[in-house]
Amino acid sequence: MIWLRRLLTIPLIILFLALFIMALIVTQFDNSFGNASFYNDQMEKADIYNSIYDDVLPAALDDVDKNDTKGNNPVEFSPIREEIVSAASQILPPEWLQAQFESATNAIIPYLLGDTDEFTYTLPLRERVDTAIEVIKSDILHGEAYSSLYDDFIDYAAEEILKNLNRLPYDLTVSQDDVEASLKIAVPEEWLASQLETALNQVKPYFTNDSQTFTVSLEIVDIVDAIASAAIDIVSGEATYEYLLDELITPTVEKNIGTVVDLPFGITLSRDEISSAIKAVMDQSWVDARLEEVVHNIAAYATGEIDTIDLTIDLTDRKATALEVISDLGDTKLKGMFNTLPQCSITEFASQLDSLSPNNLPDCRPAGVPYQQFKNLLGVNIDAIIANAVDELVGDEIPDRSVFTEEDLRKSMGEGNDDFLETAREYVSNGWVFDEVDIVEELQPENIDSFNDIRSYIGSGYTVTEEDLRDAMFDNDQTLNDFDDIREQIHDTRNLLWLLWIISILLLISIGFLGGQSWRSRSIWALAVLFGVFLIICIAISITDSQVDTPDIEDDIKISEFEALESVLGEKSNEVLDNLSSSMVCSIRNSMITTMAISIVVMLGIIGWSIYNNRRITDGTSPTAGNQNQGLPYEENQ
């Protein structure tokens, strides 16, 4: 009974629908995620490799500047962002990144899916390091970015110098702008660029593992004079002037002078008054000149021109001027004493002069007689007496010269700088030397092996095998066994995928045989069911695709405070997900539509052929008309 047979097709159609959907989904996943070219195509479609330099790296640089609120980063990236991005794109070009990613996926994906039991992938790095050195030298050190980097270096160095100035035994007031200006004199821009270029050439063989040693030497001897001039500019000032007078020069003068100096005529000068007089003649310009002599003496010591710091400061001219000032001070005090004397007649004054002891004042002063006339009436050269006394009591105790020694220099530099002279001399003589030993000393002991491994990777390439992957992913044998079981199951499932299609095809054939009587009707039944199933799947995919949004993962990406980078990565991740979803949906939908179209064409062809053939039979033009006329009515009557 034909209706019973067609009734039996219903559970088969349902089973076919379920089995076909399963086969379709599994096959689509296998064609996508089981194929390395799928990942490669998705990366290229999302333009990931160019986006690294167009979006990701600029956003990361902006975030670094934005988050450096405390000024810990000595380099400001914003002014040189384009140059950095350009250099990075030359060192690791997008096409190189794409080639390495595709090589990695082509090697690793078959292993993860169980198609192979081993793989080897080598990341070539040596050529990239060679390129990096050349790009840094040509585009950075000799490009527009270098001036900005140089300014950042000077700014950072100035901040560090200002911090270290606190070690000085006196408060040195100097602005950062002044320090920066001096540093630019001490470390010229062109000189630093040439030194850095030489350093890059010297370290390159070591980092490419062609050599086990390297030595970088900055030739400081070439800029010693410039450094000395810069140092003079920085330390010259009132604070240094006061320190040199109070701590180095004045003590030399005062050490042999008592607390009070008694001059003739009852004149008394205190040590402070004498010191003030001495300071008055040692003005800042004179002291700055002596400071310049000291600094250049240090420079000569650093270059090896002299063997010790032993600078003699000539005080002869300052001493003579100081004695004149002190004598004038004595005369001023004498005038004050004169003004305090009571007045008397000229007769009384003259009578006192007859019995007056040498270098003493009378008890009174003649009325109406000014100070200078009063001194003349005393009958002695008071100015000469005071000057001679000052020269004897003060001048003899003031040395004609002062010696500035290493001990004085160390004292003036403050605590923590005891080894400055030796260090400076070593740097100037040998250059500022940095070698592989210094690098190792800077590393933690546990990081030394890793550092040497990196050098080896750069020299010969970084090679990854299945053993490296397994060691990185799992830490015990059980998980490794589970991983291998999963790989084997995936491999077996993919190899048996054809069974799903065979069973689906057999079900479709069975539906055709149950639903039809002849090969034409059976074909139409099978094609109609196939068309209906495809139509149901297409409708389901369209509804699902329109109602289900691709997950927005932008909010799930958190990279500290790197907001711009988070936004870029989130947008790019969403784009990849959108492309992935669209790719799979379009692939399935296009396959369905193509198959539906083929089904309709075949069904129309079969129907058309049946109509044409029936007309031939009816017209009697067919040689098998008798047989056909006997069979066709029976099928139709059924």
pLDDT value at residue 636:
39
pLDDT given for residue 182 in this prediction: 84
Confidence band for 257, pLDDT divided at 50, 70 and 90: confident
* Residue 422 pLDDT > 90: no
CA distances to 252, 265, 337, 390 from 386, in Å: 24, 9, 14, 6
Instruction: Enter the tokens of residue 34.
Output: 């089981």
pLDDT of residue 433: 84
Residue 543 has a pLDDT of 75
Long-range contacts of 630-638 (CB under 8 A, 24+ apart): 631/518, 635/517, 635/518, 635/521, 638/2, 638/517
Which of residues 464 and 427 earns the better pLDDT score?
A: 464
Give the contacts of 308 (CB within 8 A, at least 6 positions apart): 301, 406
Q: How many angstroms separate the CA atoms of 250 and 624, rounded?
A: 140
Write the CA distances from 547 to 28, 345, 542, integer angstroms: 21, 126, 9
Q: Is the pLDDT of residue 526 over 80?
A: no
Q: How confident is the model at residue 635, as a pLDDT?
A: 40
Q: What is the mean pLDDT of residues 289-317?
A: 81
Average pLDDT over residues 600-613: 73
Helix/strand/coil for 124:
coil
Which tokens hold the place of 595?
Answer: 């198959």
In percent, the amount of the chain with pLDDT more than 90 equals 16
| Three-class secondary structure of residue 308 per DSSP | coil
Report the C-alpha gap between 94 and 96 in whole angstroms.
Answer: 5
Residue 589, pLDDT above cutoff 90: no
pLDDT at residue 159 tops 70: yes
Q: How far is CA 207 from CA 129, 196, 213, 411, 508, in A?
A: 9, 16, 9, 43, 66
Confidence of residue 604 (pLDDT cuts 50, 70, 90): confident
pLDDT, position 12: 83
Nearest partner of 507 among 1, 3, 26, 21, judged by Cα: 21
The residue ranking higher by pLDDT, 31 or 70, is 31
Name the most confidently modeled range: 68-77, 446-455, 536-545. 446-455
- Report how far apart the first and last C-alpha atoms of the chain are (Å, whole number): 8
**396 or 452: which leads in pLDDT:** 452
**pLDDT classification of 354: cutoffs 50, 70, 90:** confident
Tokens of 106: 């082509």
The DSSP element (H or E) to which 215 belongs, if any, is strand 215-218
Please report which confidence band the pLDDT of residue 18 belongs to, taking 50, 70 and 90 as the band edges.
confident
Give the contacts of 105 (CB within 8 A, at least 6 positions apart): 36, 39, 40
Q: How many CB atoms lie within 10 A of CB 148?
A: 16
Give residue 108's pLDDT.
92
Q: How confident is the model at residue 334 (pLDDT cuts 50, 70, 90)?
A: very high
Q: Is the predicted pLDDT of residue 89 greater than 90, yes or no?
A: yes
Average pLDDT over residues 503-515: 81
**Mean pLDDT lowest among 219-228, 421-430, 474-483:** 421-430
pLDDT at residue 97 greater than cutoff 90 = yes
Lowest-pLDDT choice from 134-138, 193-197, 592-596: 592-596
Look at phi and psi of residue 175 and say left if phi exceeds 0, alpha if psi is from -120 to 50, else beta.
beta
Q: Give the pLDDT score at 637.
A: 38
pLDDT digit string (tens) for 447-459?
Answer: 889 999 999 999 8
Contact 162, 179 (CB under 8 A): yes
- Confidence band of 471 (pLDDT split at 50, 70, 90): confident
**Mean of pLDDT values over 435-455:** 88
Residue 41 · residue 587 · CB < 8 Å: no
Residue carrying the six token digits 């005038």: 335
Q: How confident is the model at residue 549 (pLDDT cuts 50, 70, 90)?
A: low
Tell me, what's the pLDDT at 206? 92
% of the chain residues with pLDDT over 70: 86
The most confident of the ranges 65-79, 336-350, 542-556 is: 336-350
The residue that leads in pLDDT, 391 or 165, is 391
pLDDT at residue 342 in the model: 93
pLDDT at 560 over 70: no
Average the pLDDT over each of 104-108, 236-240, 396-400 and give the range with the smallest value: 236-240
Question: What length is written for the chain?
Answer: 638
Kindly tell me if the per-residue pLDDT of 424 is higher than 90. no
- Assess contact for 623 and 540: CB atoms under 8 A: no
Q: Are 323 and 390 in contact (CB under 8 A)?
A: yes
Q: How confident is the model at residue 638 (pLDDT cuts 50, 70, 90)?
A: very low
Query: At 337, is the pLDDT very low, low, confident or very high (cuts 50, 70, 90)?
Result: very high
Mean pLDDT, rounded, for 400-419: 71
| Buried-exposed string 415-436: b where 16+ CB fall within 10 A, e elsewhere | eeeeeebeebeebbeebeebeb
Q: What is the mean pLDDT of the chain?
A: 81
Q: pLDDT higher for 425 or 631?
A: 425
Query: Using CA atoms, how far apart are residues 438 and 451, in angstroms rounded to an integer?
Result: 13
pLDDT-derived band at 200 (thresholds 50, 70, 90) equals very high
Per-residue confidence (pLDDT) for residue 290, from 0 to 100? 80
Residue, of 602 and 553, whose pLDDT is higher = 602
C-alpha–C-alpha distance, residues 84 and 64, integer Å: 13
Tell me whether strands 401-405 and 310-314 are parallel, antiparallel or unpaired: antiparallel
Instruction: Specify whether the CB–CB gap between 605 and 527 falls below 8 A.
Output: no
Cα 441 from Cα 553, distance rounded (Å): 44
Q: How confident is the model at residue 462 (pLDDT cuts 50, 70, 90)?
A: very high
Cα 543 to Cα 26, 438, 530, 537, 547, distances in angstroms: 20, 66, 20, 10, 6
Q: What is the pLDDT of residue 233?
A: 79
> What span, in angstroms and rounded, lies between the C-alpha atoms of 306 and 46?
68
Task: Please tell me the least confidently modeled range out of 127-141, 296-310, 355-369, 468-482.
Answer: 296-310
Pairing of strands 120-123, 462-465: antiparallel
Residue 633, pLDDT score: 38
Q: How many Cα atoms sit within 13 Å of 603 on the Cβ side?
A: 18
Task: Provide the pLDDT for residue 634.
Answer: 36
- pLDDT of 87 over the 90 cut: yes
Tell me the average pLDDT across 470-480.
83
Question: Is 89 within 8 Å of 83 (Cβ atoms)?
Answer: no
With a cut of 90, say whether residue 92 has pLDDT above it.
Answer: yes
